[in-house]
Amino acid sequence: MSDKVVTRFAPSPTGFLHIGGARTALFNWLYAKHTGGTMLLRIEDTDRERSTDAATAAILDGLAWLGLTWDGEPVSQFERAPRHRAVAEELVRMGKAYYCYATPAELEAMRESARAKGLPPRYDGRWRDRDPSEAPAGAKGAIRIKAPADGETVVHDLVQGEVRFPNKDLDDFIILRSDGNPTYMHAVVVDDHDMGITHIIRGDDHLTNAARQMVIYRAMGWDVPSMSHIPLIHGADGAKLSKRHGALGVEAYRAMGYLPEALLNYLARLGWSHGDDEVMSIADMIAWFDIGDVNKGAARFDFAKLEALNGVHMRRMNDAELLDIFINTLPYLEGGPAIAARLDDTRKAQLLAALPGLKERAKTLVGLADGAAFLFAERPLPIDEKAAGLLGGEAREILRGAHAALEAITGDWAAEAAEAAIREYAVAGGHKLGAVAQPLRAALTGKSTSPGVFDVLAVLGREESLARVADQID
Ligand code: GLU
């Protein structure tokens, strides 16, 4: 057997890929990449009533957007039901499991009596040692595994440490229902074994399941994979993550204009750290990640930190790459499709030229779209309230002079030439530079903030710039 690491991400397709699931996928992916192993994907669609194809599609789409690639085809857990059944029957043949014919009324009575004694509901083992010949005629039993009655089951967890479960709390749980369908607990073990999973990395809400799953591994004589149960994500206030805190599908983060790399960086840092490094590229994360370094305590999700980190990633990214991501994300951004519709080659070139200035001011792609809106605006430009304020009073007269000064530029239309012309005009007229630049900015962009006004002039070009200024004079 090789020592190659095989991890898996095993989402239940009952909803979108939420932020906690994305982090679980990320940790599996990073650990596989870090060790030169593989990550497999298993869709846990055993629950037919709650699983939908739309959810599966949303999960695959979310993973693809984040770049969390898996190896091979996704495995459908539901399709493996015959194999789950065969293993359950094999356990019966080996004497490690048995058919139970307890009726719903009997089971309810067991629950009642446990409740009365203040104990957790527990199956009393009444069919454990009975002879199969005692089975009621025609009845289809459920298969229960024989759980150890005393001692303890110890989960050696790379994140949680040694976690001990007294075996008296593990009853003989069902692995195959009387309708022939496997329980989730059983399906997970059979799948992880058959897929050759060496490392299970999942949310710590599954920690108690781990003890039960170990009973099945032991009964089959299978190796128990290494286990890591990672803490759930909480809101910034420490409460369980809700929508308000950011418990959204990853597609919502795409629509809010976060870069995949920044979101991954943020998620990686939730509960894991590498010295004081805050900003990490994907290559850094792969090089540095180790599952054993994940903290036990719950991590807190903080939008402000995510946004700041996203701004850093945007500024670090080279302009061509950022432009690519921006264009690919436009269909998902608010107001993005309108920009996409007007994005011809000229505007692409303008956008690329404006990016250095734009990305200094934007923390998200939505901010970038907002900052770039002036490039895509149609004349006469809509002027926002603050910009309108800059165009009042004597601003109009000043603009008239600025228009003439710009029109007089004879050489190349460039930021330097525009700046020289405007400075000269300001000095000659006894205006402060700002008194000229501000109304100019308002006329050119319809806003009171934008990249440097001379860069805006250069990016828009001579004709469009002069026309926009003229619109505010006449
Ligand atoms: N399908 C489970 C979930 O979405 C994960 C089970 C596992 O990782 O073992 O929570």
Model pLDDT for residues 130-184, shown as the tens digit of each residue: 988 899 988 899 999 999 989 999 999 999 999 999 998 889 999 999 999 999 9
Q: At residue 1, does pLDDT exceed 70?
A: no
Mean pLDDT along residues 73-96: 98
pLDDT bin (cut points 50, 70, 90) of residue 474 is confident
Question: With 80 as the cut, is the pLDDT of residue 243 above it?
Answer: no
pLDDT tens digits for 98-128? 999 999 999 999 999 988 988 888 899 999 9
Q: Distance from the CA of 261 to the center of ligand 1, in angstroms? A: 24
The verdict on whether residue 243 carries a ligand-binding annotation is yes
CA-CA distance, 436 to 414, in Å (whole number)?
18
Mean local confidence (pLDDT), 300-305: 92
CB of 182 closer than 6 angstroms to any ligand 1 atom: no
Nearest-atom number in ligand 1 for the CA of 11 is 4
State which amino acid sits at residue 312: V
**Alpha-carbon torsion (395, 396, 402, 406), positive or negative:** positive
According to DSSP, the β-strands at 97-100 and 142-145 are antiparallel
Could you tell which of 18, 56, 202, 212 is best to mutate to test the pocket of ligand 1, judged by most ligand atoms within 8 Å of the CB?
202
Q: Where are the domains of the chain?
A: 1-69+231-316, 79-230, 317-376, 385-473
Ligand 1 near 195 CB (within 6 A): no
- Residues contacting residue 181 through CB under 8 Å, at least 6 positions apart: 46, 81
Q: Mention every residue, 6+ apart, whose C-beta is less than 8 A from residue 97.
A: 88, 91, 143, 144, 145, 146, 175, 219
Query: Catalytic site residue 146?
Result: no
Amino acid at 341: A
pLDDT at 352 over 50: yes
| Nearest-angstrom CA–CA distance, 67 and 12 | 20
Q: Count Cβ neighbours within 10 Å for each residue of 249-287 and write b for 16 or more, e otherwise.
A: bbebbbbbbbbbbbbbbbbbbbbbebeeeeebebeebbe
What Rg do the C-alpha atoms of the chain give, in angstroms? 31
Mean pLDDT computed over 333-361: 92
* 20 Cβ below 6 A of ligand 1: no
With 80 as the cut, is the pLDDT of residue 2 above it? Answer: no
Closest Cα partner for 184 from 44, 10, 40, 43? 44
Ligand 1 centre from 10 Cα, in Å? 5
Give the count of beta carbons closer than 10 Å to the beta carbon of residue 352.
14
Percentage above 70 pLDDT, the chain = 98
Instruction: Say how many Å lie between the CA of residue 82 and the centre of ligand 1.
Output: 20
Average the pLDDT over 76-90 and give the result: 98
- Check if 7 has its Cβ closer than 6 Å to any atom of ligand 1: no
Does 188 sit in the ligand 1 pocket, CB within 6 Å? Answer: yes
Residue 280 tokens, joined: 């990490």
Question: What CATH architecture is 385-473?
Answer: Orthogonal Bundle (1.10)
CB-ligand 1 contact for 12 (6 Å cutoff): yes
How far is ligand 1, taken at its centre, from the CA of residue 246, in Å? 20
- Domain boundaries 79-230, CATH class: alpha beta
Mapping DSSP onto H, E and C, the string for the chain reads CCCCCEEEECCCCCCCCEHHHHHHHHHHHHHHHHHCCEEEEEECCCCCCCCCHHHHHHHHHHHHHHCCCCCCCCEECHHHHHHHHHHHHHHHHCCCEEEECCCHHHHHHHHHHHHHCCCCCCCCCCCCCCCHHHCCCCCCCEEEECCCCCCEEEEEECCCEEEEEEHHHCCCCEEECCCCCECHHHHHHHHHHHCCCCEEEEEHHHHHHHHHHHHHHHHHCCCCCEEEEECCEEECCCCECCHHHCCCEHHHHHHCCCCHHHHHHHHHHCCCCCCCCCCCCHHHHHHHCCHHHCCCCCEEECHHHHHHHHHHHHHHCCHHHHHHHHHHHHHHCCCHHHHHHCCCHHHHHHHHHHHHHHHHHCCCHHHHHHHHHHHHCCCCCCCCHHHHHHCCCCHHHHHHHHHHHHHCCCCCCCHHHHHHHHHHHHHHHCCCHHHHHHHHHHHHHCCCCCCCHHHHHHHHCHHHHHHHHHHHHC
What number does the ligand 1 atom closest to the CA of 24 have?
8
CA dihedral of 428, 431, 436, 438, whole degrees rounded to 10: 160
Is the beta carbon of 45 within 6 A of some atom in ligand 1?
A: no
Chain segment 415-437, per-residue pLDDT in tens: 999 999 999 999 999 999 999 99
Dist. CA 42 → ligand 1 center (Å): 9
Residue 243 near residue 250 (C-beta atoms within 8 A): no
Q: How many residues does the chain have?
A: 474
Among the CATH numbers 3.30.43.10, 3.40.50.300, 3.10.450.50, 3.40.50.620, which is that of 1-69+231-316?
3.40.50.620
What pLDDT sits at residue 246? 62
Check if 85 has its Cβ closer than 6 Å to any atom of ligand 1.
no
- Ligand 1: residue of 23, 188, 212, 230 to mutate (most ligand atoms within 8 A of CB) is 188
Percent of the chain with pLDDT over 90: 86
Higher-confidence residue of 195 and 113: namely 195
* Residue scoring higher pLDDT (27 or 138): 27
Task: Tell me what pLDDT residue 108 has.
Answer: 94
Q: Are 170 and 160 in contact (CB under 8 A)?
A: no
Q: What is the mean pLDDT of residues 52-61?
A: 95
- The model's pLDDT over 389-403, given as tens digits with 9 standing for 90+, comes to 999 989 999 999 999
Atom 6, ligand 1: residue with shortest CA distance: 10
What rounded mean pLDDT belongs to the chain? 94
For the cut 50, the answer to whether the pLDDT of residue 39 exceeds it is: yes
Fold equal for 1-69+231-316 and 79-230:
yes
Give the C-alpha separation, 180 to 322, whole Å. 53
What letters, b where the CB count within 10 A reaches 16 and e where it falls short, cover 299-333? Answer: bbbbeeebbebbbebbeebebeebbebbeebbebb
Extract the tokens encoding 76.
Answer: 């459908």
Q: Which of 140, 168, 240, 243 is catalytic?
A: 243
Contact 249, 303 (CB under 8 A): no
